Every structure is written in structure tokens, then in C-alpha cells.
Structure 1
Amino acid sequence: MAFTRGTGKHRGPSRSARATRNLAGIATLAASGVVATVASPALAAGNPDEANTHDTGFHQAVVLGDELAEQIEAQADAQQEAADAAAAQAKAEAEARQQAAEAKRKAEAEAKKQREAEERAAREAERKRLLTYVAPVDGSYVSTSYKASSGLWSSGSHTGIDFHADSGTTVHAVGSGTVVEAGWGGAYGNNVVIKMNDGTYTQYGHLSSISVSVGQTVTPGQQIALSGNTGNTTGPHLHFEARTSAEYGSDMDPVAYLRSHGVNV
């Protein structure tokens, strides 16, 4: 039975196989006269005895060819190992870059998601703030009620409510809206009228000074004036009205109006 030996990817033939090929190649060259010079003198003279004992020329050629083949094989193996190592390193670097890019993409997506959530929360908070109502004077109380009867008012009854306030007390817009009147208002003295975002109107009278102008938008709690004692009044306070229009006579209950918007008065 004949046996065969498998060779590796870069494994050269066995030493005996290489020797056989080298001998065959040298024999061919000898036949053509190429290696005649490497043969011993005995061979050249045609002495059979000398040829049997001094055939070192063929033997040396075989050994040299075998060593060269082994060197070439070793060099090829080293080059392949270097190429494999370079390929492995390149693959690892490519995978690292891909992982870094994916991590960056995920981080950017998460940051964007977080920003969007914060922006939504901020918009919602601002929306709620703009819908909020507050009292026109902090820490005060109603000193004269709505529809109170007195000869002090031309209509015979009070068209708003009075908040207790010394002169110079900060007066706030009760909600979001646009100023439609800011100046002298006859019996109301210095006054401000605001068209609220819900279409109603609020009025602030007897002011000592005004800090807004017509056309200006205001937000809940924004300072619009200082309370005072101007116009038809018996002392410093803030007169506050809620109306369905900017005109006198369209008044509605200011306490009910404020309470309907969450203000405790």
C-alpha cells in the first residue's frame, strides 16, 4: 500500500522529494553540459572508479538546492505570518472604529432625545404659566366688595372690588394679555386696561405710576404699575374690575372671575 503525506498551506515538499527533484534537474543540466564544470575531474576523464568515489559535485548541488528551498519556504512562512497579523490588526481596528461610531450614534440619539424631552417639558411649563392667574396685589384682601352701594360711584354701586394697598404697592397683571389702555381714566385716575388671552378684560385703577404701554404683552404676575390715590377716591387702594369688553358698564363679578381661574380671594 502506498502512503501519501499531506502538506500544509506553505509546507514545501519533503527533503527527500526535493532532493529527488534536484537530482533530476541536475541530471538534465548535466546532459546538456551545463553542470559539466561542477563534476569531479574523474568524471570528466571518464574513470569509473573515480566517479564512484568522488561524485561530490552532484551531492553539493543537491544540498545547496535543498537549503535554498528551505530558506525560501521559511521566508514565505514569515511573510504570510506578517500578512495574517496585519490583516488581523486591520480587522480589529475596523471593528473598533465601527463600535466607536455606533457608540457615538447612540450617545447622540440619547442626547437628542433628552433635549427634546426637556424642551417639551419647558414648553409645557411655560404654557401652564401663561394660563395661570394670580392676585393683582400680593398678600392683600378685598376692602370693598363688588356691587357695594354708595353715592361715591356715579352708577350708584361699585363696578369692581377694592384691594387694600398703600401707595407704591406693586400691582401685577393677573394673567396673560395685551395692554389696550394705559393712562388717565377720569374717575379711575391713572389706570391700565388689559385684554386677556381668553378674550375678557381686566382694569386696574387709582394708580400712582404706570410701567406698561398700549400694545405691550404681559404675563401673569408681571408688574404693570404701583398703587396710589389718583382719581375719585377717599384713600390709597387698588380698584380692580373684570369686564366682557374694554368699555365701562360691561363689568362682571371680579371675585368670581378670579376664583374661576384658581385665584383664592
Structure 2
Amino acid sequence: MPSSPATPSANAGRHRGRRAPSATRRIATRASAAGATLALPVIGATATSAFAEESTYTVQSGDTLSTIAMEQDVEGGWTALYEANKSVIGDDPNLISPGEELTLDTASADSGTSTQTTTTTQVSTEPSAVMPVSGGTPTAGYEASGSNWSTGVHTGQDWSVPVGTTVKAAVDGKVVKAGWDGSFGYEVMIEHADGDYSMYAHLSQIDVSVGQTVDAGDRIALSGATGNVTGPHLHFEVRTTPEWGTAIDPVAWLRGYGVDV
């Protein structure tokens, strides 16, 4: 959304705060071969200790791999988390179930599989996403506060760019919305393999259709100034569902994919 719009309309600035981590989320420690469970950190532990530990996470209702990776600061982001837990999750990274125990030690998982293939080592070194626009000036950031938005909080990241700037799919996915959305103007929404959704708003032109599959870097639209704005810019938002009210930090999300924002 814009950083300094005129008096907002009742329909304008449909923004909301960060999805609070569930109070039931927890970090556990995996029991050693001797049957003991130790709390982290272990004071005085040595490399030869018999109690090798590995931090784990218990999946809660509403979790996605992306949000887990961000909230637990997983090295390599959600893709590394998925590769480290593929034997638990299965072939579809969208299908994680409450109660599943996931390892957060992606570095250890990589070293254990490096003799088989080189695929997993590429996860944490090769960015799998792109910036949605190039050459833009960051304006209103995620959770910026003020009277510019009806809820008092901004839910995405804005970049000031001229009308007609190419807007790219940040990550591979499938288009689930392409059209008008009130104060957001013309927008495109893409569903991704991590279970999250990226949204691109205030567009002047849409170049994709619902159901279309896109790759990271594909042109999906042109930036504009449609909807509730005071100037041309791209509003980039990431949600855990396609519904309004489930936004997460889009900059942290991009960094989880290896993008230097």
C-alpha cells in the first residue's frame, strides 16, 4: 500500500499485523542414543560427547514450512528445511501435519546426504527467488504504522516504481487470482510450494491468468497506480492463506529463499 495516501476510504488499507506464533509451538531436543534428553545449550560439551543433540520442531496447526523456517531462523530457509525432512514430510512440501517432528539442523542433514547427490547442497547456496521489481525505491515497509491504513498497520512491502515497470513472479508457483481487488486495484496472487501466497497489487496491466503456472522471474504484470494510491508503486505482500488477514514479513520471506533484499 502507499506510504502517504490522502484520507483513506473505508475500503482502503486493508492491513493487519504479524501472525503471532502459536503459544503451543515448541523447540525440543532429540534424545541421545543413551536415552537421555538434554536441554540446549549443554555447558562444557565436547566434540567427543556421547550425547549428540539435534534441535527439532513439532508442527502445529496452521504451520507452513516457510513460517517455521522464518520463525526458527533455519539455515537455508524453507527449501533446506524440506530437504532435511523429506523422509518425514513426503514428496509434497505443502502436506505437513500437526505433531510431526522436524529437524531444524539443516547443515547436519546436508552433510549426511552429500555423498549421494549434489542436489541438497544447492538448496542453501542458490537463490530460488527474485525481486518482484528491479530498480525500485523501498517506501512503506511491513508493519509500518500510521493513519495511512485503516487498521493502522501496513501488511506488505512497497517499492516506488514508474507505471509500466515489469513485475516478476518472485517464486515459482500457480496463479490463483488475477483481477480487480478494491483498494488494492488490479492484483495478481500466486500460490507457492511452501504453502504461502505472494500478492502483487496496484498493477496497470495483468499478463497472466488464473491456473497458469509461472517460474521465478517470469513477467506477470506491469506496475501501476490503480486502487487506493497516491503515486505509482508495487505493493508486494506474502500471506499464509489467500485470505486477507494472514500476512507475514515479505522481506524475511524473500531472504528465506536466498534473495538479498
Counterparts of 2:188 and 2:149, CA distance in 1: 19
Structure 1 unaligned spans of 5+: 1-119
Cα deviation code 1:79-115 (max 9, x no counterpart): xxxxxxxxxxxxxxxxxxxxxxxxxxxxxxxxxxxxx
Selected match of 1:234 from 227, 230, 234: 230
The runs of at least 4 consecutive aligned structure 1 residues that moved more than 6 Å come to none
CA contact (8 A) 2:168 2:216 kept: yes
On the 8 A contact 1:137/1:171 being kept in 2, the answer is: yes
Distance in 2 of aligned mates of 1:236 and 1:140: 11
- Does the aligned pair in 1 maintain the 2:179–2:187 contact within 8 Å? yes
User: Cα–Cα, structure 1 residues 239 and 216, in superposed 2: closer, same or farther, change >3 Å?
Assistant: same
1:182-201 Cα offsets, whole Å, 9 max, x none, are 00011100000000122110
- Contact conserved, 2:162 with 2:223, CA < 8 A, in 1? yes
Cα distance in 2 for residues equivalent to 1:168 and 1:150:
28
Higher relative contact order (CA 8 A, sep 6+): 2
- 1:193 and 2:189 equivalent? yes
- Any conservation in 2 of the 1:177–1:219 contact (CA below 8 Å)? yes
Answering whether residue 162 of structure 2 is matched by residue 166 of structure 1, we say: yes
Partners of 1:252 and 1:140 in 2: CA distance: 21
2:163 maps to a residue whose letter is S
- Tell me which amino acid in the other structure corresponds to 1:245: T
221, 224, 235: which one pairs with 2:220?
224
Query: Counterparts in 2 of 1:9-88, with a 5 A limit?
Result: none
Q: CA deviation at 1:138?
A: 1.3
Corresponding residue of 1:262: 258
CA shift, 1:206, in A, is 0.1
Between the aligned partners of 1:263 and 1:139, the Cα distance in structure 2 is 15
Aligned length: 144
Gaps of 5+ in 2: 1-116
| Alpha-carbon separation, structure 1, partners of 2:130 and 2:251 | 12
- 1:175 maps to 171
Structure 2: distance between partners of 1:200 and 1:131: 17
Task: Give the helix-richer structure, 1 or 2.
Answer: 1
Per-residue deviation, 1:131: 7.3
Mapping of residues 59-208 of structure 1, within 5 Å: 132-208=128-204
Q: Whole-Å Cα distance in 2 between the matches of residues 163 and 196 of structure 1?
A: 22
The alpha-carbon deviation at position 152 of structure 1 amounts to: 2.5
Distance in 2 (CA, whole Å) between partners of 1:201 and 1:244 is: 6
> What is the CA distance between 1:164 and its match in structure 2?
1.7
Task: Give 3-state SS (helix, strand or coil) of 1:235's partner.
Answer: coil
1:211 equivalent in alignment to 2:207: yes
- Does the aligned pair in 1 maintain the 2:135–2:161 contact within 8 Å? no
Identical positions, percent? 52
1:196 and 1:179 mapped to 2: Cα distance? Answer: 9
Q: Is the 8 A contact 1:131 1:176 kept in 2?
A: no
